[in-house]
């Protein structure tokens, strides 16, 4: 068992990118300052570089655990919540199971309606670090601490085909297929003028009948438009249909889930099981994001979804990869069917970590090393800027 937490350090991780996430800027898209771009197809801000919030906890024995959460926008918001509230309270709490600690920290402001957003992101970073410390102190891997010891392989799907033309995108998909990756997902924006059926036609012809091909609709449709789009893709046998309607529109999510033939996938923006509960039955696939949920809520969402008959295929966001490795191990413990592979982000940043899972021949290969298995290496420290020490 770990001892009482005595030190909390918060950093921003920042690294420039060679490839703009989701590809080069298109018509009507624009830069927001030096750091961000706004995409036309869904009005969402994306960073030009990789950035996350990284956190290290040290207990009274000097043992450490590492966590990570979103830092795409306003990383200081997460740090402020840790500085003002969550950190001091965590250092007062008796050490125990990390899920009990998550509940205690969440309890502080639940009656005021602080149920998600940046508050939950801060909780996620702390929770991942606490689980890391907890498992390491027992000399076991995170998956073992969650009830599934041992190494494992988790099927990976290639996420995004950032190419300027249909031919270039197919060529990229074929190059991954040649390396053993038989699953791919495209965002609606990776198509010519939004012709997603044409894109599926090209990919299905070029990749063959056995390739799994999914689409991320990026919240761009009404329920009616989503149902029509899914219908137009039916001849190409899509693997799943992700996030077609506004995140908050639960009625539309249920309407689409009932109406379409292929599995509806939801969940990358959820923070807690409370986000899942009203959507139970709508999503045939849930996609918890470790950077938002932490280990505690990731597992609670996965367990509920499994009971409801859904598959688990976690989301992978932009970051250093501590949360990605925690996600792989929690996914293994939860019996996930597959995991998203951000091929433009994960391998490059995994080189900044000791102990990261590799992704080769269509699968993540997950070691059984203690905790979530990853620690920033010396090269990573050049990309970590201190934000806060408690």
Smallest gap from Cβ 94 to Mg ion, in A, equals 39
Instruction: Determine which residue in the list 216, 273, 275, 289 makes contact with Mg ion, applying CB under 5 A.
Output: 216
Position closest to Mg ion via CB: 216
Structure tokens at 271: 């923070």
Smallest gap from Cβ 331 to Mg ion, in A, equals 16
Smallest gap from Cβ 242 to Mg ion, in A, equals 5
The DSSP result for 337-361, as a single string, is S-EEE-TTTHHHHHTTEETPPEEET
What is the layout of strands, in order, in the sheet containing 49-59? Answer: 64-70, 49-59, 5-16, 384-389
Closest to Mg ion by CB, 132 or 268: 268
Q: Say if residue 116 is exposed, middle or buried (CB neighbours under 10 Å; 0-12, 13-18, 19+).
A: middle
Smallest gap from Cβ 272 to Mg ion, in A, equals 19
Q: Name the nearest CA neighbour of 217 among 195, 238, 184, 189.
A: 189
Could you give the string, one character per residue 250-279, with x where binding to Mg ion holds by CB under 5 A and - elsewhere? ------------------x-----------
Smallest gap from Cβ 164 to Mg ion, in A, equals 21
Sign of CA dihedral 303, 305, 308, 312: negative
Closest to Mg ion by CB, 135 or 213: 213
Closest to Mg ion by CB, 14 or 268: 268
CA-CA distance, 365 to 300, in Å (whole number)? 24
Smallest gap from Cβ 316 to Mg ion, in A, equals 10
3-class DSSP state for residue 367? coil
Binding to Mg ion (CB under 5 A) within 225-244 occurs at none
Closest to Mg ion by CB, 176 or 241: 241
CA-CA distance, 384 to 53, in Å (whole number)? 9
Residues binding Mg ion: what is the number (CB under 5 A)? 2
Closest to Mg ion by CB, 55 or 316: 316
Q: Is 340 in the site for Mg ion (CB under 5 A)?
A: no
Paired residues of 208 in beta bridges = none
Structure tokens at 285: 């696939």
Contact positions vs Mg ion (CB under 5 A)? 216, 268
């Amino acid at each position: 068992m770990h001892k009482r937490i005595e030190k909390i350090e918060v950093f921003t991780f920042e690294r420039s990118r060679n490839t703009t996430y989701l590809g080069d800027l298109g018509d009507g898209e624009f830069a927001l300052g030096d750091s961000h771009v706004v995409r036309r197809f869904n009005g969402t801000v994306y960073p030009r570089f990789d950035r996350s919030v990284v956190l290290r906890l040290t207990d009274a024995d000097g043992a450490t655990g590492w966590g990570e959460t979103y830092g795409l926008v306003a990383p200081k918001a997460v740090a402020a919540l840790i500085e003002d509230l969550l950190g001091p309270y965590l250092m007062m709490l008796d050490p125990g199971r990390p899920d009990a600690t998550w509940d205690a920290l969440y309890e502080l402001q639940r009656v005021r309606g602080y149920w998600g957003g940046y508050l939950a992101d801060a909780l996620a970073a702390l929770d991942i670090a606490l689980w890391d410390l907890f498992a390491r102190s027992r000399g076991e891997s995170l998956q073992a601490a969650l009830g599934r010891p041992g190494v494992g392989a988790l099927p990976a799907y290639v996420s995004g085909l950032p190419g300027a033309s249909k031919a270039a995108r197919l060529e990229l998909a074929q190059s991954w297929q040649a390396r053993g990756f038989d699953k791919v997902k495209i965002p609606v924006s990776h198509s010519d003028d939004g012709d997603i059926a044409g894109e599926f036609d090209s990919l299905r012809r070029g990749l063959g009948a056995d390739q799994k091909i999914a689409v991320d609709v990026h919240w761009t449709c009404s329920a009616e438009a989503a149902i029509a789009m899914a219908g137009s893709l039916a001849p190409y046998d899509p693997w799943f249909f992700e996030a077609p309607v506004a995140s908050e529109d639960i009625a539309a999510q249920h309407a689409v889930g009932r109406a379409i033939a292929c599995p509806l996938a939801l969940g990358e923006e959820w923070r807690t099981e409370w986000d899942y509960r009203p959507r139970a039955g709508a999503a045939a696939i849930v996609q918890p994001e470790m950077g938002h949920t932490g280990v505690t809520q990731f597992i609670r969402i996965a367990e509920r979804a499994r009971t409801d008959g859904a598959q688990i295929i976690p989301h992978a966001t932009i970051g250093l990869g501590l949360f990605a490795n925690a996600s792989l191990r929690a996914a293994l413990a939860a019996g996930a069917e597959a995991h998203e592979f951000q091929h433009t982000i994960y391998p490059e940043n995994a080189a900044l970590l000791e102990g990261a899972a590799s992704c080769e021949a269509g699968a993540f290969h997950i070691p059984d090393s203690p905790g979530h298995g990853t620690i920033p290496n010396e090269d990573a420290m050049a990309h970590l800027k201190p934000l806060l020490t408690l």
